[in-house]
Amino acid sequence: MNVEITRLASGLTVVTETMPHLESVALGVWIKSGSRNETEDEHGIAHLLEHMAFKGTARRSARDIAEEIENVGGELNAATSTETTSYYARVLRDNVPLAVDILADILTESEFDEEELRREKHVILQEIGAANDTPDDVVFDKFSEVAYRGQTLGRPILGTPDTVKSFTPGQIRNYLSRNYTTDRMFVVAAGAVDHTTFVKQVEERFARLPMTPSVPPVLEAARYIGGDVRETRDLMDAQVLLGFEGKAYHMRDFYCSQILANILGGGMSSRLFQEVRERRGLCYSVYAFHWGFSDTGIFGIHAATGGNELPTLVPVIIDELRKSSETIHQQEIDRARAQIRAQLLMGQESPAARAGQIARQMMLYGRPIPNPEMMERLEGITTERLTDLAGRLFFDTVPTLSAVGPIEQLAPLTDISTALATPGIQTKKAAG
Chain-centroid distance of CA 266 in Å reads 17
Maximum CA pair distance of the chain?
A: 70
DSSP state of 206: T
How far is Cα of residue 380 from the mean position of the Cα atoms in its chain?
26
Cβ partners under 8 Å of residue 290, min gap 6: 246, 247, 257, 258, 260, 261, 297, 298, 299, 300
Nearest to 48 by CA among 173, 213, 186: 173
Which stretches within 14-159 are classed as H helix? 45-52, 62-71, 96-108, 114-132, 135-147
User: Which one-letter amino acid corresponds to residue 372?
Assistant: P
Strand pairing report for 24-31 and 75-80: unpaired
Q: How far is residue 411's CA from residue 432's CA, in Å, rounded to a whole number?
A: 10
Q: Are strands 238-245 and 297-305 parallel, antiparallel or unpaired?
A: antiparallel
Q: Which of 17, 38, 50, 332 is catalytic?
A: 50
- Residue count (the chain): 432
25 beta partners: 91, 191
- Could you tell me the end-to-end alpha-carbon distance of the chain, in angstroms, rounded to an integer? 58
Q: Is 10 helix (H, G, I), strand (E, B) or coil?
A: coil
Helices 413-421/383-395 angle, 10° precision: 150
Catalytic status, residue 17? no
Angle, nearest 10°, between helix axes 254-265 and 383-395? Answer: 80
CA-nearest of 56, 34, 174 to 117 is 56
Residue 76: strand, helix, or coil: strand
**C-beta separation of 157 from 82 below 8 A:** yes
For the residues of 125-173, what is the DSSP string, one character each? HHHHHHHHT-HHHHHHHHHHHHHTTTSGGGS-TT--HHHHHH--HHHHH
Kindly list the catalytic residues.
50
